[in-house]
């Protein structure tokens, strides 16, 4: 849902900034690399220390690079397989850093092994959810399913909750519980999304194999 609506909105908003970078001679790949480095730094420097508000601020400043680089590539007419590969690969790095930062906090000063495990599950399931779609498409299947919690939803839920949870250090009471709730929601949603994609790939593969079967074989099966 967020991929469909929010991405279109922010693409329009960020188009002038993308055009500005192009005029300055900045390449889309450079934006991708800088954006990922900023997200990783924000997640692994601030989150393990419990600085969720400032970590989220830093990450948010850089996370929009995922939209800017693609916008720049389209304006330049340079959309390529390499750019898509680099962008997708570094997205996985950024996601791993964010949930890894949460896990480090709960394994250390946060002192909660259960939430540490939930954070690790969010990290791993997010990677596997992305892999199932990529692998399905690589074997020629459309993987035509909109999962319950895809990458955009995982990031928005986690970062918004982390940002608000960080306000606890500014004296806002009780708000620190938002992050644990968000992590459980992301974990459950990622599991549902993974199941949705696996079921879809199974169905599509069976349909593709049935369509590719020789006519005589299909006729004999129908006779049975």
Phi-psi label, residue 195: left if phi above 0, alpha if psi -120 to 50, beta otherwise:
alpha
Give the residue from 126, 131, 178, 132 showing the smallest Cα distance to 152. 126
186 neighbors 124 (Cβ within 8 angstroms) = no
Task: For residue 129, say whether it is annotated as part of any ligand binding site.
Answer: no
Question: Up-side HSE of residue 41: CA atoms within 13 Å toward CB?
Answer: 10
User: In this structure, what token pair is assigned to residue 151?
Assistant: 């990458």
N- to C-terminal Cα distance for the chain? 43
Given 91, 95, 111, 112, which residue is catalytic?
Answer: 91
Among this protein's residues, is 91 annotated catalytic? yes
- Is 192 annotated for ligand binding? no
Say if residue 36 carries a ligand binding annotation.
no
Q: Is 111 annotated as a binding residue?
A: no
Q: Report residue 191 CA to chain centroid gap.
A: 14
Is-contact 126 99, C-beta < 8 A? yes
Is residue 31 marked as binding? Answer: yes
Closest CA to 115 of 47, 56, 187: 187
29 labelled ligand-binding: yes
Is 95 marked within a binding site?
A: no
- Binding-site members for Mg(2+) are 66, 69, 87, 91
- Binding-site members are 29-32, 66, 69-70, 74, 80, 87, 91
- Binding-site members for a CDP-1,2-diacyl-sn-glycerol are 29-32, 70, 74, 80
Could you give the residue numbers annotated as active site? 91
């Amino acid at each position: 849902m967020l991929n469909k609506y929010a991405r279109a909105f922010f693409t329009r908003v960020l188009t002038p900034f993308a055009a500005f970078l192009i005029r300055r001679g900045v390449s889309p790949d450079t934006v991708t690399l800088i954006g990922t480095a900023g997200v990783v730094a924000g997640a692994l420097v601030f989150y393990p220390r419990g600085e969720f508000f400032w970590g989220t601020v830093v990450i948010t400043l850089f996370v929009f690079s995922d939209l800017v680089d693609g916008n720049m590539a389209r304006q330049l007419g340079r959309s390529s397989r390499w750019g898509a590969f680099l962008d997708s690969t570094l997205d996985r790095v950024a996601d791993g850093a964010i949930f890894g930062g949460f896990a480090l906090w709960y394994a250390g000063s946060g002192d909660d092994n259960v939430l540490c495990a939930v954070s690790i599950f969010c990290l791993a399931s997010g990677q596997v959810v992305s892999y199932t779609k990529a692998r399905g498409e690589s074997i020629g299947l459309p993987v035509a399913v909109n999962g319950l919690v895809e990458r955009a939803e995982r990031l928005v839920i986690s970062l918004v909750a982390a940002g608000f949870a960080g306000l606890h250090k500014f004296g806002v009471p009780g708000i620190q519980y938002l992050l644990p709730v968000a992590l459980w929601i992301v974990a459950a949603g990622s599991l549902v999304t993974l199941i949705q994609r696996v079921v879809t790939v199974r169905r599509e593969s069976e349909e593709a194999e049935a369509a590719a079967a020789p006519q005589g074989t299909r006729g004999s099966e129908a006779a049975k």
